[in-house]
């Protein structure tokens, strides 16, 4: 009995880690929204799933809902992009 409970907790923690790290942003936002409607703390869920809880430029909706000055400044996500150079041999 206890072994099954412990295994279930470990599987749930692994599922939460996978969801927070590898799911697309739109899916993570949808999970936060759905669980928030069910009574969970939306701010905590947004922090856990690494999404913006309040909207704005970083919510994936583009810059349509924020001012031009905030969209012109680079964020952490845009300054840490990596480039992989491919060398094609023919």
84 part of a folded domain: no
66 part of a folded domain: no
86 part of a folded domain: no
Give 2-17 pLDDT, tens digit per residue: 999 999 999 999 998 8
From the CA atom positions of the chain, what is the Rg in Å?
18
| Average pLDDT estimate for 13-28 | 89
78 part of a folded domain: no
26 part of a folded domain: yes
Between 43 and 77, residue with greater pLDDT? 43
- Could you tell me if 25 and 55 are in contact, meaning their C-beta atoms sit under 8 angstroms apart? no
Q: How many CA atoms lie within 13 A of 48 on its CB side?
A: 17
**What CA–CA distance (Å, rounded) separates 48 from 17?**
9
- Tally the domains of the chain: 1
83 part of a folded domain: no
74 part of a folded domain: no
Helical H segments across 23-75, by residue range: 25-37, 42-48, 68-72
Query: What phi and psi values does residue 44 have, to the nearest 5 degrees?
Result: -65, -40
Range from 6-15, 32-41, 79-88 carrying the lowest mean pLDDT: 79-88
pLDDT at 68 over 80: no
89 part of a folded domain: no
Helix axis angle for 25-37 and 2-22, nearest 10°, is 130
The domain in which residue 4 lies consists of 1-56
């Amino acid at each position: 009995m206890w072994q099954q409970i412990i295994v279930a907790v470990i599987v749930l923690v692994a599922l939460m880690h996978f969801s927070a790290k590898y799911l697309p942003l739109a899916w993570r936002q949808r999970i936060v929204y759905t669980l928030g409607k069910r009574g969970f703390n939306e701010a905590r869920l947004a922090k856990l799933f690494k999404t913006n809880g309040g909207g704005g430029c970083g919510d994936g909706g583009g810059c349509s809902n924020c001012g031009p000055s905030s969209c012109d400044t680079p964020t952490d996500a845009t300054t840490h992009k990596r480039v992989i150079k491919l060398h094609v041999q023919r």
